């Protein structure tokens, strides 16, 4: 199975790729299936059931809003995040859901959308959608599993549903492990980014891929810019204040006064933190973000890329492409051989994987060999192993926002450490990924995006 770079980096909305983007895509897929099957006009009743982690933290992650938005015909990649809640609020107020923006179906929010606090066997993030006719007979039913990063599995078709059907397409350089990837790089004298680009070229024209990555980078930049200037309290009831705008002003003031090396060095660290905070505050408010590889970890790769751009004024889009291609090689291995779902393996699969991806991308831009890049990714992942997903109040705010800032610094440090070596190291990336998978299996479910353990119960909500 080939995992496309464009599947790992998707433009969407916050606050969660698995709990918001995935369910919205599932609702949209269900609505489109009804249209394709010629059943839309016969639908008289819709039934939504959210299971497992989607039920446990769905309200805080806007899962209920997302799946209804998808049924309305909205795509997370294109919906206006500033208008989205208004679209959905009209359904709750009027008691009518305009299915696929075409057919009006009566909809009682409390009756027709239910949270079921049990997990289905296949994955802890599951939702089941049912359409019935006026006699109560089932017209169409499907179960979707939101497996992290906005990826969804369509149970009726027994495959992932996505915009880039890469799974069945032969590629010139297939690999299923980091060891195989390194062997390909050595055998063909190619970088990781060149290997990934060649595989992407089997899926679509190279120009299309590069155009899409330019769109991704612009979305990341726009997200940072918005986050740097917006103030106020984040939604959800925790009364979490936005901090990025005030920090930006302090850093800009300090830059005009700094004279010693220590102050300038520490300031660079502050800017990395700032970029991550800006993105994740936007994500927490339901803004436009890039899944990288998840929304909960969406600030790490943009923060590291902005750090590089800040210190390399001549950075080109080709540099961004190299970073993202290299990062996607690592992210694809983690998704294939472990998971990027917080509900499945904890935050080590989100922040940990994003840290590894960013470390690899930065090491590539700094001239690292494939072996040094693999080492950077391993360091980034290894030092996030065991990280739990325990969001306070079921919101992607505490500890998620600061966690992205800390992991961004880890990624930079991991790249620097790897580049000071020759690529030889004791623990391989494949071993770290295997440990990620096994640790996730051993982790109690209360620490995996259910808000039933850890900080989620240690912090008293006010």
Q: Domain check: are 194 and 321 in the same one? A: yes
Q: How far is residue 352's CA from residue 409's CA, in Å, rounded to a whole number?
A: 12
Q: Is the same domain home to 154 and 198?
A: no
Looking at the structure, tell me whether residues 124 and 262 fall in a common domain: no
pLDDT of residue 462: 47
Judged by DSSP in three states, 12 sits in strand
Tokens of 202: 């089997």
CA distance 114 to 377: 41
Burial level of 275, CB count in 10 A (0-12/13-18/19+)?
A: buried
Q: What is the CA radius of gyration of the chain?
A: 22
pLDDT range class, residue 65, cuts 50, 70, 90: very high
Query: What is the domain-level CATH number for residue 304?
Result: 1.10.4100
Same domain as 187, residue 157: no
Dihedral through CA 156, CA 162, CA 168, CA 169, nearest 10?
160
296 and 218 together in one domain: yes
CB 286 within 8 A of CB 13: yes
Residues 397, 284: Cα–Cα separation, whole Å: 6
pLDDT in tens, 426-441: 999 999 999 999 999 9
Answer yes or no: are the C-beta atoms of 92 and 113 closer than 8 Å.
Answer: no
- In DSSP terms, which residues pair with 130 in a beta bridge? 47, 141
- Does some domain include residue 169? no
Q: What is the mean pLDDT of the chain?
A: 95
* Domain C-terminal end among 134, 161, 188: 161
Domain boundary (109, 134, 161) is at 161
Q: Which neighbouring-strand residues pair with 128?
A: 49, 143
Question: Are 354 and 300 within 8 A, CB to CB?
Answer: yes
Residue 89: which CATH number?
Answer: 3.30.1330.90
- The answer as to whether 389 is a domain residue is yes
User: Coil, helix or strand for 439?
Assistant: helix
Find the DSSP H helices in 383-428.
400-419
- pLDDT tier at 290 (50, 70, 90 boundaries)? very high
Q: Which residues, in sequence order, are bridge partners of residue 291?
A: 10
Instruction: Read off φ and ψ for residue 267, nearest 5 degrees.
Output: -65, -40
**Residue 452 domain-assigned?**
no
Kindly state whether residues 265 and 393 are assigned to the same domain: yes
Residue ranges making up the domain that contains 155: 15-161
Confidence of residue 162 (pLDDT cuts 50, 70, 90): low
Residues 47, 114 share a domain: yes
Tell me what the mean pLDDT of segment 69-74 comes to. 98
Task: Tell me, yes or no, whether 374 and 278 share the same domain.
Answer: yes
The verdict on 254 and 133 lying in the same domain is no
Pair (294, 435) in one structural domain? yes
Name every residue whose Cβ is closer than 8 Å to that of residue 423 and which is 6 or more positions away in sequence: 369, 370, 371, 372, 374, 375
The pLDDT value recorded for residue 161 is 60
Whether 375 maps to a domain, the answer reads: yes
Domain assignment present for residue 173? The answer is no
* Residue 171 included in any domain: no
What pLDDT sits at residue 254?
A: 87
CB under 8 A, 24+ apart: contacts of 144-147:
144/22, 144/23, 144/26, 144/29, 144/30, 145/120, 146/18, 146/19, 146/22, 146/23, 146/26, 146/54, 146/341, 147/18, 147/22, 147/123, 147/339, 147/341, 147/344
In a domain, 9, yes or no: no
- Residue 241 is classified by DSSP as B
Residue range 305-355, pLDDT digits in tens: 999 999 998 999 999 999 999 999 999 999 999 999 999 999 999 999 999
Residue for token digits 């499945």?
344
Residue 220 placed within a domain: yes
The answer to whether the bond into 15 is cis (omega within 30° of 0) is yes
Rounded to whole angstroms, the Cα distance separating 148 from 335 reads 9
121 and 203 part of one domain? no
Contact 292, 300 (CB under 8 A): yes
Residue 294 sits in the same domain as residue 324? yes
What residues contact residue 389 under an 8 Å CB cut-off, 6+ apart? 296, 342, 343, 346, 347, 350, 447, 448, 449
How many domains is the chain built from? 2
The pLDDT of residue 264:
73
Using alpha carbons only, give the angle 12, 68, 98 rounded to the nearest 5 degrees: 115
Q: What is the mean pLDDT of residues 5-29?
A: 96
Cα 283 from Cα 351, distance rounded (Å) = 14
Question: Which residue, 102, 134, 161, sits at the end of a domain?
Answer: 161
Per-residue burial over 251-271, b if 16 or more Cβ lie within 10 Å, else e, is beeeeeeeeeeeeeeeeeeeb
pLDDT of 258 reads 67
- Assess contact for 332 and 352: CB atoms under 8 A: no
Q: Residue 228: what pLDDT?
A: 98
Q: What is the dihedral of CA 198, 290, 146, 93, to 10 degrees?
A: -150
In percent, the amount of the chain with pLDDT more than 90 equals 91
**Whole-number pLDDT of residue 255:** 83
């Amino acid at each position: 199975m080939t995992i496309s770079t464009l599947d790992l980096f998707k433009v969407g909305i916050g606050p969660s790729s698995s709990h918001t983007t995935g369910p919205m895509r599932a609702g949209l897929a269900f609505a489109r299936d009804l249209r394709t099957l010629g059943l839309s006009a016969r639908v008289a009743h819709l039934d939504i059931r959210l299971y497992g982690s989607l039920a446990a933290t769905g309200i805080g992650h806007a899962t209920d809003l997302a799946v209804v938005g998808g049924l309305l015909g909205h795509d997370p990649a294109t919906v206006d995040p500033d208008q989205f809640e208004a679209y959905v609020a009209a359904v709750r107020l009027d008691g009518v859901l305009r299915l696929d923006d075409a057919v009006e179906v009566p909809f009682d929010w409390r009756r027709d959308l239910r949270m079921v606090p049990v997990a289905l066997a296949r994955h802890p993030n599951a939702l089941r959608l049912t359409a019935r006719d006026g006699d109560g007979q089932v017209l169409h039913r499907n179960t979707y599993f939101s497996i992290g990063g906005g990826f969804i599995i369509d149970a009726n078709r027994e495959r992932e549903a996505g915009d880039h059907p890469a799974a069945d397409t032969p590629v010139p350089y297939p690999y299923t492990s980091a060891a195989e990837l390194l062997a390909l790089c050595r055998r063909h004298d190619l970088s990781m980014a060149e290997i990934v680009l060649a595989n992407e070229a089997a899926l679509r024209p190279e120009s299309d891929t590069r155009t899409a990555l330019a769109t991704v980078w612009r979305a990341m930049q726009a997200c940072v810019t918005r986050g740097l200037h917006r103030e106020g309290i984040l939604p959800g009831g925790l009364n979490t204040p936005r901090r990025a705008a005030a920090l930006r002003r302090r850093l800009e003031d300090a830059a005009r006064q700094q004279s010693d090396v220590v102050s300038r060095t520490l300031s660079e660290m502050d800017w990395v933190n700032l970029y991550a905070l800006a993105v994740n505050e936007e994500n927490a408010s339901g803004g436009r973000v890039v899944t990288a590889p998840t929304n909960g970890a969406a600030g790490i790769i943009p923060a590291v890329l902005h750090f590089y751009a800040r210190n390399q004024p001549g950075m080109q889009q080709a540099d961004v492409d190299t970073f993202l291609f290299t990062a996607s090689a690592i992210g694809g291995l983690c998704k294939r051989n472990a998971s990027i779902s917080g509900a499945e393996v904890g935050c080590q699969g989100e922040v940990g994987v994003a840290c590894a991806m960013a470390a690899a991308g930065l090491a590539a831009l700094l001239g690292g060999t494939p072996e040094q890049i693999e080492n950077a990714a391993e360091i980034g992942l290894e030092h996030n192993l065991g990280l739990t997903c325990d969001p306070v109040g079921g919101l992607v705010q505490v500890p998620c926002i600061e966690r992205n800032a800390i992991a961004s610094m880890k990624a930079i440090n991991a790249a620097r450490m790897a580049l000071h070596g020759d690529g030889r190291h004791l623990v391989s990336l494949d071993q770290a990924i295997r440990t990620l998978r096994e640790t996730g299996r051993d982790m109690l479910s209360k620490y995996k995006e259910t808000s039933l353990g850890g900080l989620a119960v240690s912090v008293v909500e006010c």
